[in-house]
């Protein structure tokens, strides 16, 4: 393996400022699965909530498959005007109490996963990061009219004891974030993640209720005071829009009513409503198929 440290450049002055602070590192990468745009929306929210200074910038050109995720380029009349660019970096932000934290954001690596994991583990070690945390959304047969359930996972399983009885054991294609969390566990590093269970019929849209649910969990487990900002207002507007659109279809109303009955029954008797691995896998495959159609 080529030296993992050659994958990134860092700001030496900011690096020295962060030494000894034992920060929390939150990673919200745009990757394979993120129902409800949960992780992506949370990343945007955090970067808008405070000034973020770039601490580490990765050589994204070495990690990105441009044939898989192409930049958008604009043609105007008779010339190419501009193109989107990709950036994978770790920035330093502050919470509402002035506590600094790290945020890894950008597209997940398409290639060199082992080398990228080694690079990140080196950074985590050198900065003595006390906790690595992530969040995302998972498409599940639940209604939007009920509180968003959250499934947690951690390298220390004693920390996660209250997961809803929606997911037991299932094999799914790995995201880079899950692959890295697994590797962190082998190095005795504390890592946690929270997956909001997003209504499968809203998987391709932004579901703000899920964003609030995972943000509250991150604050609870890390001790950070990441601000909600205008997210509660966005939840109200988002739900109103969903209900307005839903009320125009009797078929959708019937589906949601059925999901409400299942949700309420599961909450009352959780041991009787554990879906099989096959059912969860089928839901996951439907989400991926819909995602691929949207990208075509």
CB 92 within 8 A of CB 37: no
CB 71 within 8 A of CB 86: yes
Please give, one letter per residue, the 3-state secondary structure of 262-286. Answer: HHHHHHHCHHHCCCCHHHHHHHHHH
CB 68 within 8 A of CB 54: no
CB 149 within 8 A of CB 142: yes
- What's the Cα-to-Cα distance from 12 to each of 56, 57, 74, 134, 215, rounded to whole Å? 9, 12, 36, 26, 30
Strands 150-154 and 191-199 come out as: antiparallel
> With DSSP H G I counted as helix, E B as strand and the rest as coil, what are the percentages for the chain, rounded to 5?
45, 20, 35
Q: In degrees rounded to 5, what are phi and psi of residue 31?
A: -140, -135
Q: Does domain 4-295 have CATH number 3.40.50.10900?
A: yes
Strands 89-94 and 100-107 come out as: antiparallel
Note the residue count of the chain. 296
How many Å separate Cα 76 from the centre of its chain?
Answer: 35
Q: Along the 296 residues of the chain, how does pLDDT read in single tens digits?
A: 899 999 999 999 999 999 999 999 999 999 878 999 999 999 999 999 999 999 999 999 999 999 988 999 999 999 999 999 999 999 999 999 999 999 999 999 999 999 999 999 999 999 999 999 999 999 998 999 999 999 999 999 999 988 886 666 778 889 999 999 999 999 999 999 999 999 999 999 999 999 999 999 999 999 999 999 999 999 999 999 999 988 888 888 898 999 998 888 888 876 555 555 555 555 556 555 665 555 55
Strands 131-140 and 24-30 come out as: parallel
pLDDT at 271 (0 to 100)? 59
Residue 270 CB neighbours (<10 A): 13
Domain boundaries, given as residue ranges, for the chain: 4-295
CB 214 within 8 A of CB 135: yes
- What's the Cα-to-Cα distance from 277 to each of 170, 193, 274, rounded to whole Å? 5, 20, 9
CB 153 within 8 A of CB 181: yes
Tokens of 178: 């899950």
pLDDT at 281 (0 to 100)? 55
| Of 26, 5, 74, the residue nearest 221 (C-alpha) | 26
């Amino acid at each position: 393996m080529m030296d993992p440290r050659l994958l990134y450049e860092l700001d030496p002055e900011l690096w020295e400022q962060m030494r000894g602070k034992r920060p929390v590192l939150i990673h919200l990468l745009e990757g394979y699965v993120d129902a409800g745009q949960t992780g992506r929306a949370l990343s945007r929210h955090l970067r808008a909530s405070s000034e973020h200074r770039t601490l580490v910038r990765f050589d994204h050109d070495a990690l990105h498959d441009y044939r898989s995720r192409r930049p958008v380029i604009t043609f105007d009349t008779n010339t190419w005007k501009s193109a989107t660019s990709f950036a994978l970096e770790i920035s330093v932000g502050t919470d509402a109490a002035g506590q600094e934290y790290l945020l890894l954001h950008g597209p997940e690596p398409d290639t060199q996963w082992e080398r990228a994991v080694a690079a990140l583990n080196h950074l985590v070690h050198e900065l003595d990061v006390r906790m690595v945390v992530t969040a995302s959304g998972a498409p599940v047969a639940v209604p939007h009219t009920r509180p968003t359930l959250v499934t947690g996972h951690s390298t220390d399983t004693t920390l996660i004891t209250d997961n809803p009885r929606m997911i037991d054991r299932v094999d799914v294609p790995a995201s880079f974030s899950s692959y890295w969390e697994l590797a962190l566990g082998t190095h005795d590093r504390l890592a946690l993640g929270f997956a909001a269970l997003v209504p499968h019929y809203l998987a391709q849209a932004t579901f703000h209720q899920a964003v609030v649910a995972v943000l509250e969990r991150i604050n609870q487990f890390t001790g950070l005071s990441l601000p909600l900002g205008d997210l509660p207002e966005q939840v109200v507007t988002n739900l109103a829009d969903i209900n307005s659109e839903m009320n125009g279809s009797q078929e959708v109303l019937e589906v949601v009513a059925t999901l409400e009955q299942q949700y309420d029954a599961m909450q009352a008797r959780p041991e009787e409503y554990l879906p099989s691995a096959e059912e969860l896998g089928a839901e996951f495959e439907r989400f991926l198929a819909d995602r691929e159609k949207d990208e075509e």
